[in-house]
Structure 1
Amino acid sequence: MSAEEKGTAATDVTHPSHEVHGDEANVPLDLPAGWKYKQISIFGYKLPWYASPRVQLLMVAFVCFMCPGMFNALGGLGGGGRASATLADNMNTALYSAFAVFGFFGGTIVNKLGVKWTLAFGGIGYGIYAISLLVSVHKTEQGFSIFAGTFLGICAGLLWTAQGTIMISYPNEQEKGRYFAWFWAIFNMGAVLGSLIPLGENIHLSLTAHSVNDGTYIGFIVLMFFGAFLATLLCNAGDIIRPDGSKVILMKHPSWVSEFVGLWETLRWEPLIILLFPMFFVSNWFYVYQQNAVNGAVFNVRTRALNSLLYWLAQIIAAGIWGSLLDFHSVRRSLRAKITWVVLVVLTFAIWGGGYAFEKTYTREDVDPEPPTNYVGKDWSDSGYVGIMFLYFFYGFFDAAWQASVYWLMGALSNSGRRSANYVGFYKGIQSVGAAVVNNLDARHLSFKTEFISNWSLLAGSLVFAAPVIFFKIKDHISVEEDLQGTDETVADVLPSGHPEKNVDV
């Protein structure tokens, strides 16, 4: 293993002691020499070093801001900004089918290439996807469109595996909810600002327009490729040192075989993780209904852009609230898990109950823009829009609450970077299988009522399956020696000298 892959332990070199501020204030720390570990003081406050979890997560968030954030803004328009969602459905079926495979086994490539090159490669696929949509507006190139969807599936599988591993393995366990909130807020700010592109470009279009203009796609393409470049400035996991001096647990000599073994060992170590699989499966299922059957089907272009902006803005608000509550240290973590489950049940029935009231007012045939219906989408100036706007806003709020809870639950089951990578692999792989299935069903013009019922029933049912894990497996704390059982790592490998858990016998 190279020095770049493995990193340098905090105790391997002698360096003047640094003082850490913030959550780890007044903890003396010997950091390695080099620019990655230098701290800059501003008004007496020492900023985190470059190779710290906070700085790296911030950079990853901005990569996702530019790439999947802009993709979400484009998808939030319904049908990728086109009048018909069929092409986007077919592209997304290919996308999520490829994503499912590379979501499961992306951990091997992440560990081989390192997070920065994996994220950089992953970002390229988003730009090509947007290019294919622009091309499709002027000329039907079904082959190129399906290729772009498949290639993005590969890229996204790698990008999100790297991102998920960073988010639940870099922070200490008491900070994981807040780290999710910071990431999710910045990431979704990309979708919010990205939604301003089609809103600004199309605000003066005819109220009967069904497709966005070329400038919208060009803006997305430029930003997506910039995000891929930004990823090359990241550090690899082996360089990261936490504020308490501990390191991220790294996988040694990964291979396709070891990835299969790792997935099996994860199931053997924590078989009840299977009960979270339904939550994983449905976590992207509802996007198709919300974006295509509600926003894309019912509204005109400029109102779709406004709805998309509000949807992703709601995600930022929800992430801030959810992240703070999940890390509310005055309440034991095991109790917080139970409260989270109860709140998710309430939100599922309250928000989707409102959705059912709206869904009953139209069918797929009623809102078809093609003859004989010639439906003209609703505008924000029409009466009755405000109620639907709030429903769509809370759909976005619900999405962030669901995703935050899933990430937090996975993080609460383990602090090991290796197990975390496998959890994320299961999560993104199973999530993508669900997305591929529902995009294919939408391309076959499944009725909106059936789509809605599938969403509500899968969400409610998945919470029932997850209850045993949430109520009986989430502990208040996972010790290092417990987390390392079944691996070839030792406490000495991952904790600095003098750490409170360093003297544990393993």
Structure 2
Amino acid sequence: MTDSKTAMSKAYDGSPELTDNVADIAHGVNMEVYRATVPLWKRVWQHSLTQMMLLSVQAFCGPAMADAITGLGGGGLATAKVSNICTAITYALLAIGSSSVCFMGGPIVNKIGVKWALVLGAMSFPIEGSAYYCNSKFGNQWYLILSGAISGIGTACWYVAEAGAIMTLAPSASRGKYLALWIVSRNLGQLVGGAINLSKNHEKGVDGGVSPDTYIAFVIIESLALPFALLITPFEKVVRSDGTRIITSETLSTKMEMKRILKTMTSKLVVFSALWALWSFFYSGTWSTYLATYFSVRARALSSLVSPFFCIVGCFGLGFILDMKSLSQRRRAQIGLFTVVILNVGVYIWSIIMQVKFNHHNPGHIDWQDALYPSAFLPYFFVQTTGPLSQSYMYWLLSSFATDAQENVRNGAAFRCIEAIGQAISYGMNTQTTNNPLVGFCVTFGLLGAAVYPMIMLVNTTPDRIPADVVAEEQDAALEKIEHLKVSNQTPFGAPV
């Protein structure tokens, strides 16, 4: 209640962080005045879709390129073990970093802001690509492993800021489509990585790692994230497409922020979604090992190139379902969960069947001309859609419970921390099971089964409306009442009674 009063007081006083020369109330913006008084370039820059696109470009340049390298199978190296060790370290430190940022998330975000958290993270992106280049060119594996430590710490800051932003920027009725844009951008790195790799490693019979020049292209793309991070605008300046502002609360003391964070970590939302978070990225380590073990270099490249296409269709399809106005938010959450679970179950049953066959008869390195290629590749093709669907759905669900932007940051940090732990365990496990991905497939499938029941319990408590929207409407009503009292207490000549 204190936060609501503070926000109303700022709006009434014409505070620049809320009004920015725009005639508005606490949550809504007078769009006619906004268009008349704010230059076009600034309106475009402050638009929620523009900010989501800037964030999506960073996701493409950073995490997507990291996934593209992973999607080459063992990072494109001759053997998957060193790559898996490097990636495991990255996510272990990402988990530690996310934990630190989660417990200190409020003070950090409130002090430096989402923009500068993204900038700090973007600066660490090119380190991974350069390490793979040095390993491929000079064979110095120590830098590859060290890069996992350095980029893991730097990227943790970016991931937490990103999680809060993607759940906050979208208008209430378009969250599914906004998240689809982000998740597709994040996964298009596989397409670019596959195209780069295929253009340089398309000859039949080539075995081992990809060429060193491939990693130079990755480094260049990873470096482009920084200028786009610098273009991010603070939450309080963003105007959504439906004419609403983002609800932000006042800066809290460190002691109060710690209390809020502890409350977040023990909340029903985090506890019930923890297993889903652990599972949501767990598949990536096993599938990277699967590609490196059973596919030729050019077949890996082709797999990375074509896999994202169905992801685009699937993610936007789920986005439209989650944004259906004819259904309540709870009903959309239930339909979304059912869709995601059924698709994942089908993929994992297929994957386990294929791996059992490979355990009985090792196919060697499968090329795209081999008759076995379609049936061996298709499970990977579909998991590159069902995995992102699971992640997009979870962030949509988390944003359905938030009361303000700061709570989205705390929830996102908690989810990202658990998510990174799952990835670290997955890649660490695959360093010990390099020649038998069946263990990884079974563990991942088991985690999905364990995560479903808590998720059903959580989904069935989804509020029919986003709490942040309810708070905003209460603020608007209170401001209207204040304005009405202000007018009624003046004489017809405008002087106070």
Please indicate, yes or no, whether the TM-score normalized by the shorter chain is above 0.5.
yes
Partner in structure 2 of residue 182 of structure 1: 181
Kept in 2: contact 1:99–1:154 (CA 8 A): yes
1:470–1:13 Cα change, 3 Å: same
Partner in structure 2 of residue 348 of structure 1: 344
Partner in structure 2 of residue 286 of structure 1: 283
Work out which of the residue numbers 245, 251, 259 in structure 2 matches 1:247.
245
Local SS of the residue matching 1:49: helix
How far residue 274 of structure 1 moved from its aligned partner, in angstroms, is: 0.5
Matched, 1:275 2:276: no
Partner in structure 1 of residue 96 of structure 2: 101
Partner in structure 2 of residue 215 of structure 1: 213
Work out which of the residue numbers 208, 221, 224 in structure 1 matches 2:222.
224
CA separation in 1, counterparts of 2:308 and 2:64? 9
Partner in structure 2 of residue 201 of structure 1: 200
* Superposed CA RMSD: 3.1
Kept in 2: contact 1:89–1:443 (CA 8 A): yes
The CA deviation string for residues 34-63 of structure 1, in whole angstroms up to 9 with x for no partner, is 8xx5336xxxxxx95311211101111111
Relative contact order higher in (CA < 8 Å, ≥ 6 apart): 2
How far residue 198 of structure 1 moved from its aligned partner, in angstroms, is: 0.7
Structure 1 or 2: more helix by fraction: 2
1:257–1:404 Cα change, 3 Å: same
Percent of pairs with identical residues: 21
1:23-422 to 2 correspondence within 5 Å? 28-31=31-34, 37-39=38-40, 49-106=44-101, 107-108=105-106, 109-204=108-203, 206-250=204-248, 252-253=250-251, 258-267=256-265, 270-292=267-289, 294-363=290-359, 366=362, 375=364, 377-422=365-410
Which one-letter code corresponds to 1:235 in the other structure? Answer: T
How far residue 299 of structure 1 moved from its aligned partner, in angstroms, is: 0.5
The CA deviation string for residues 242-270 of structure 1, in whole angstroms up to 9 with x for no partner, is 345543233544676555322222246x4
Which one-letter code corresponds to 2:440 in the other structure? Answer: E
Which one-letter code corresponds to 1:398 in the other structure? Answer: T
How far residue 74 of structure 1 moved from its aligned partner, in angstroms, is: 1.0
Runs of 5+ unmatched residues, structure 2: 1-9, 486-497
CA separation in 1, counterparts of 2:80 and 2:89? 14
The CA deviation string for residues 63-102 of structure 1, in whole angstroms up to 9 with x for no partner, is 1111111111111111111011111111112111111122
Kept in 1: contact 2:270–2:415 (CA 8 A): no
Runs of 5+ unmatched residues, structure 1: 18-23, 41-46, 368-374, 485-489
How far residue 417 of structure 1 moved from its aligned partner, in angstroms, is: 0.8
Under a length normalisation based on structure 1, what TM-score does the superposition of the two structures give?
0.83
How far residue 393 of structure 1 moved from its aligned partner, in angstroms, is: 1.3
CA separation in 2, counterparts of 1:229 and 1:305? 29
1:365–1:120 Cα change, 3 Å: farther
CA separation in 2, counterparts of 1:476 and 1:138? 56
CA separation in 1, counterparts of 2:221 and 2:247? 33
Aligned length: 463
Local SS of the residue matching 1:247: coil
1:173–1:157 Cα change, 3 Å: same
Local SS of the residue matching 2:31: strand
Which one-letter code corresponds to 1:448 in the other structure? Answer: P
Which one-letter code corresponds to 1:102 in the other structure? Answer: G
Which one-letter code corresponds to 1:119 in the other structure? Answer: L
Partner in structure 2 of residue 371 of structure 1: none
CA separation in 2, counterparts of 1:12 and 1:291? 48
CA separation in 1, counterparts of 2:417 and 2:292? 26
The CA deviation string for residues 362-403 of structure 1, in whole angstroms up to 9 with x for no partner, is 249947xxxxxxx4x111011121222322211111112111
